[in-house]
Every structure is written in C-alpha cells, then in structure tokens.
Structure 1
C-alpha cells in the first residue's frame, strides 16, 4: 500500500518552516500527557493548558506563522493557534462527545511518527541519557533465555529470537553510523574548541554509555555460543522444523518446501549474525582508534607553534578557501600571488638533465669500536622527559593519583587553572581518552566553560572509581 494513501498531503508541513521546533516540542509534550490520560482521549482545555505551560517556560524567539496581529497576544492565544495547526495538518482530531466537551485524539499514523521522534530525541546517541540507555545485553539475553526455555512454543521462540537479533543489529548499526559522523567532524572542524568539545561528547555519549557496555557488561560472547548451538540443534531436529514450517505455510502459499526453506533461511541469518559480530566489533574498534588518534593529532597540530612553516601554509590555505567561498576568487589569488616566486624557463638544455654514471669503488668493512662510556645522566633525563610527553596510561595514572589522594572528584578547570599551556591541554585530552574501567576513573560533562586565551571548551568532572 502506498504510504501517501494513508498519510495526508499536509502532514509533514508541520516539520518544515521556521517554527518547526516549537511545533514538534509542543506535539511531544501533548503526547506525553495524552498517554497518561484517559483511553478515550484528552480534554481540549487540558491540551490547551499543556501547550500554554510549555510556552510560559520556553518563550518564542519568533512569532508563529499565520498570525498577522501580534499585539497583546497571550500564550493561551498561541496555544489555540498551535492546536489549530496540528488539527489542520491532521496530526490530531478534535471531536465533541455526548457531554458537548471537545476531546483531542491523535491519529493512528501520527502516533507511529511521534514514537519515532521520541526515540530520536531521547536517544543517547543524540543527547545525554540515563544509565538504562542502549541495553545491548537485553536483546541478547532475551534470545538466550527463550532458546533455553522449555515452553515448547518453537515458532514463537524463533520469531522473538529473530526480532531481538535484528534489533541488536540495528543498535550496532546506529553505533557504527554515529562513529562515522564523529570521524567526519574532524574534517569539518578546524577550531580547537570544537574538536575538544566533540571529543568530550564522543567519550561520554558514545564510548562510555554504549560502546563500553558492548565490550564489557554486554559482551555477547557470554551467550553467543549457546545461542548458535541451540539454533543448530533446532535445525537438526526434524520434528521441530516441521512445526516451524507449518507456521510459515500461509506466508508460503501452502507450499511446504518453500515454508521449510524460509525457516532454514531465518535460522541461518541469525547464526550468521552472531558469527560475524566479532568482526563487526573489531571494525568499530578500528574506527574508535582512528577517531581518537586523528582528533588528538589535529589538536596537536593546531596547538603547534604559529611560526612554523606548516602553520603558515595552513593559514594561507584557510584564508584562500574562505575567500573563494565568499565568491572572491580573484581577490584571493591577487593576495597570495606575491607570496610565491617560481622561476620559469623557456628552454631546457638536454645536457642539464644528464647525470654521469658513478664510479664503482669497493668499500672495506668497518668495525665499531667497543666503549665502556656511560650515557650522561642529563641525556637519560631528557630521554625520559620526552618519552613521558607522550602521556602513556602509566603517566596519566601517576598524575591523577596525586589529585585523587585529596579528592575523589576533580574538575578539569581545577587541573589547568594555573597552567594553560599546550602541554596541559594535551594532558587533559589524554585524561579524557583513557577514562573508563581499566583506569578506574570516569568523565561527567558540566554546564560550564574553561576559558583559554585561544579558545573556550566545556568543563568536565573526573570521578575516581571504586577500589
């Protein structure tokens, strides 16, 4: 069936235009109250008050569309306008009951779309979320439990295992897609503050709350072998396979061979997914390393001395790119042309390209003389200082232990309040990257800023783990 035979023509107009954010937010707020109310719908007066309360807390930056006279306009008037807009675009119906009360109900298809909008807006990949976020283990453990049960409902068990497996794959794909988004931001951003803030978000939003669960507490290796073994046993049991095939007869036009083929394919698909998960996790591992290493490398480059040649060329290219984007190509070329002088030659002598063949000379072997001289202590100190500048896990661990001996929670701003050097900023980045179970400390973003002479970054807490 054509989806637009179900969804009205004006339905998606609500999601366009300058006021789309306020409309969607009011829609989600209405739906939240609607779900908690009567099965028969929500009184329009209650709906109006819900929207009015939302507008009181979140004032409009721009006035709503289709309102010409905005003088002495109240939030109650705006709420009525929003409800009329929702009804016009057929997201809601407003009917009059036997008591002459106006009752608001959501259309069936709008409920489906709203649920999707809720999932996106509350998803941990898009904003902060609670600890009960992406439970990879839920899908895997449910499949594991169903296959180990003795219900005898083989068709129901297989269908639920199949759905849970697809849901698990969907979460993995979302994680992978979000990783690709962060990797792309490295190219799109050339400001230190943006790269550092993205790295903080990446660490707290993606790694700590989704990826770490997949690698540790949600490790599917605990259940994978048993799941695969149970599915293979199911395929080998003719009695079970016949029961499963009967459940697929209707969808297979009463052809038992096709039904059996569909059952086998469904089981094979589940097994293939579980057997390939290790490869998928390795790929995500690699993308994680690419993002972290590339981001830190770019930040190091941007923090490097402004007087070096690479930095100068970078500034020239950035200026040229921005000027060309402003449709001022000629101005850009005229500005940079005097900076470069390339000698040009009208004629090239053939002799100038000729290089005579070298004379072969036998080289006698030379032996290195042994020496008992010790390395100078200052040389050793310089070497170790240079090595520690790479900020290994051991170095960061020793550094943080000094702070944790006095307090179990440290703010990033407190660490660098007396030291805003590039070295201190890089150390802060490695503290961020290493955070997790292995180093026994964690990161929590804060709604405050760290002011550096060259940039402003979001502050965060460094929380000591339990011993």
Structure 2
C-alpha cells in the first residue's frame, strides 16, 4: 500500500500531538464550511473568521508548539497558525482566484478521511434495504444492459462490498454494544438497559436485518440475474469492452477474467449471507444471555460481608478439624492463606453459567435396586459421628449454647477471658463476634478498644452480654 506517497509523511501529525483535539475541531469546521460552497474550497478570510470564533469560545489558554518559539495568545494568531500547520501536514491547500484572493481547498484524500472520522463518531448504521433494493433494481433493469459493466456490474459489486462490510461490522460489534450497556452497571441500571436493549433488539441494524431489510427476499433474483449475465455471450462481450475502457486494461483475456471474477465474487457474497446471519444471531443470543446472567448475578451478589466471612471461616474450621496433627502455633497452609488475598469481584462470564433445563425427557425407568443392609453396629457408629459433627458445627444454635455456658450466672464476660487453645477456639471466638451483631442471637457484643495479644493471636477485645428479651 503506497499510502504515504499520496498523503505525505507528516499527514497524521495533526492527530497525534498534544493539540490533536483542536486540530480535529478545526478540520471539522473547515469540512462543514464547504456545505454551502460549489466545491471543497472556501475563501481564506471567511474561514479565518470562523476559526477565530471557535478559539474565542473554546480555547482561552496560550498555545505553543514544540517546534516553535512563538506563544499564540490571541484567537487570530491561533487560527492562522493552525491553518499553516494543516497546510504543512497536507490536509489543506491554497488556491488563488483571478483577483488574487486565497481559497482554502481540501484535497480528495483529506475529504475521504474526514468523512470516515465523521462516520465513526456518528455511528451511522446502514439501511440494508436501500442497498439491496439498489442492487436488485440495477440487475432487473434491462435498459442498463447496453453498457453492462459501468451501469450494472461495477455498481452492483461496489454496493455488495459495502453491504457485506456493514454486515461483518454488525457481526463484530454486537458484543461491544451489549458490554457498553451492561459493564459496571448497578442491578437497577442493568434491568433498565436490558429492556432498552430488548426494545431495539440490540441494534436497530440487527432488527432491520431480521425484518424489512432481510437480504434473503432479494437474493434468489440477484443470483439468478448474475448467472444470466455470465451465460449471455453478447452481454459479456459488452461487459469486457466496458471493463477495458474504464479500467485501462489492454489485454482482452485478462479483462474477461476480471469481469467473471467480479460477478462470481458477488454471487459468493450472497451465498455466504446465511452463514453471516446465523453467526450474527448466535452472537446476539450469546451476549444477550451473558447480559441477563450478569444482571441475575448482580441481584444475587449482595453486600453481606459477614455472611461471606462466616462461610469462609466455617470451611476453615472444618479443614482444621481434619488436621489433628497441626497445633495452635503451626503455620496455616498456603492454600488457606490464599483465601484472604482479597480482590474486587465483578461478574462471572455468561459462558460459565449453565441454564437450568426446563424440558423433560421420557426415559426408561431404572430397575429398583436391592438396598444394602448396614449392620447395627455400623449404623450406631455413623449416627454418633453425625451427631458429633452436628454438635461441633459453628451454627447460631451451638454458639448460643456455648455463650450460655460461658455466662452462667454472670451478667457479662470479656472475650479476653475466654480460653483459646486451638485454631478452632479462635475461629469460634470470631463466630461469637459475628453472631453477636445479629438480633436473632441470645447475646450482644460490645466492642472495646483494648487489643489482646495472647498465644500468637491478636484481636480487639469485646464484651459479651445477654440480650434483653
């Protein structure tokens, strides 16, 4: 691609420096000023006046370019310098009329790039129906076949290329569109945006593609007419001659190959439409499910920190119970320490959430198996183990019972008075502190400022008291 021989090496400097936003604004003013003109040219004095107005309204700070010692303070000097820079970078050119007045002219490559930048910021979506209808009309108009290449084949190819480029952009843009609606949103905002998204079906372009802009309605006729052109030798001869004249191709065989390649490319594009449509629909469904799951998780993921810590501590206590060889002063295994490497959590990817099936399948009933007979001794042993496990759980009921024993006839007791000889005892002390803040518990916790350091444990002391009934 020989792009810099056309644009020049400094063309993109206007878009990369510290004043890039001002350059963009100036280019937009220049481009917009041509709307009332007969060409992409405008009187320099008129343009200077428009730029001065812009600098007076938007830029009161002094401006100094890195390669220049002069400091620009007034709006006119800023306008003149930015025009000079744009001319040096190759964005604009000067022309002089018969009276010697200067006109600012935009070359064709600058216009093309400004139009592309405008399309990006405006996010215009193609009206697919207008493109497909134009292709259809060109191919079904018999009067245009006297000059088939310039009047039918070339414009059909150009419009087909533009149409499928927009379809591919829609295919790649669905995920970004939904992520923009859902990322970093509260549950309420997620629901609001979900219904907004649902109304527009993700994108107005997607909605049109599935309804009135459906390419399938025209595709068969378009493909049929293109094949008719390929099989009609008289039309092909005219098309080859037209290709040679317009594309400056002297070799007739090469011209014929190019015409056939163009026509078959258009047929290929329309043949691939079903695959593109299925891919767009698949992505649309996938990312919409992801947005819904994100909303569900946001609603379910409450800020109950005590509940989360309670679950973590309960699991730790169970793990320590199974490690009888570990004493109170032993280091905690790395696997447990990693639990406390806290980090912000956002959402689980929609792909990792399995939807609960609602359909039922009728299958053969399995044969009823004969239950194993467990000896009475084993049954009693299992019951005792289950009872022991239940009694040692850090449930609210067990913690309440433990505190009742601690208090007995006392009105209150400090946590520093409770004997701690194992990791399990320390975790139970933490559960006492957690449950004491719950109104359903039989006791209350009153924090104290004193810090306790005992037997390798450090915690802020607190007082336990019976809850008044």
TM-score of the aligned structures, taking structure 1 as reference length? 0.58
Matched, 1:283 2:279: yes
Matches of 1:12 and 1:142 in 2, distance apart?
A: 36
Aligned-residue offset at 1:68: 7.0
Cα–Cα, structure 1 residues 13 and 232, in superposed 2: closer, same or farther, change >3 Å? Answer: same
1:301 pairs, out of 281, 286, 297, with 297
1:230 pairs, out of 225, 228, 235, with 225
Aligned-residue offset at 1:98: 4.4
Matches of 2:27 and 2:201 in 1, distance apart?
A: 28
CA contact (8 A) 2:56 2:75 kept: yes
Provide the aligned C-alpha RMSD in A: 3.8
Partner of 2:267: 271
Matches within 5 A, 1:40-439: 41-57=41-57, 59-60=58-59, 63-66=62-65, 73-124=73-124, 133-151=125-143, 152=145, 153-155=147-149, 156-182=151-177, 189-192=183-186, 207-248=202-243, 254-306=250-302, 337=338, 339=340, 363=369
CA contact (8 A) 1:186 1:294 kept: no
Partner of 2:21: 21
Cα–Cα, structure 1 residues 100 and 238, in superposed 2: closer, same or farther, change >3 Å? Answer: closer
CA contact (8 A) 1:134 1:209 kept: no
Aligned-residue offset at 1:335: 12
Aligned-residue offset at 1:276: 1.9
CA contact (8 A) 1:48 1:80 kept: yes
CA contact (8 A) 1:92 1:107 kept: yes
Cα–Cα, structure 1 residues 364 and 228, in superposed 2: closer, same or farther, change >3 Å? Answer: same
Cα–Cα, structure 1 residues 237 and 97, in superposed 2: closer, same or farther, change >3 Å? Answer: closer
CA contact (8 A) 1:94 1:103 kept: yes
Matches of 2:74 and 2:61 in 1, distance apart?
A: 14
For this pair of structures, how many residues does the alignment match? Answer: 315
CA contact (8 A) 2:186 2:298 kept: yes
Aligned-residue offset at 1:89: 1.8
Aligned-residue offset at 1:82: 2.0
String of CA shifts for 1:389-431, please: whole Å, max 9, x gaps. Answer: xxxxxxxxxxxxxxxxxxxxxxxxxxxxxxxxxxxxxxxxxxx
CA contact (8 A) 1:143 1:165 kept: yes
Unaligned runs of 5+ in 2: 313-333, 342-366, 372-469
Aligned-residue offset at 1:24: 0.8
Aligned-residue offset at 1:161: 1.1
Matches of 1:242 and 1:38 in 2, distance apart?
A: 39
TM-score of the aligned structures, taking structure 2 as reference length? 0.58
Equivalent residue of 2:157, what SS?
A: helix
Matches of 2:60 and 2:336 in 1, distance apart?
A: 41
CA contact (8 A) 1:252 1:259 kept: no
Aligned-residue offset at 1:116: 1.9
Equivalent residue of 2:142, what SS?
A: coil
Cα–Cα, structure 1 residues 81 and 225, in superposed 2: closer, same or farther, change >3 Å? Answer: same
Matches of 1:65 and 1:201 in 2, distance apart?
A: 46
Aligned-residue offset at 1:248: 4.0
CA contact (8 A) 2:48 2:80 kept: yes
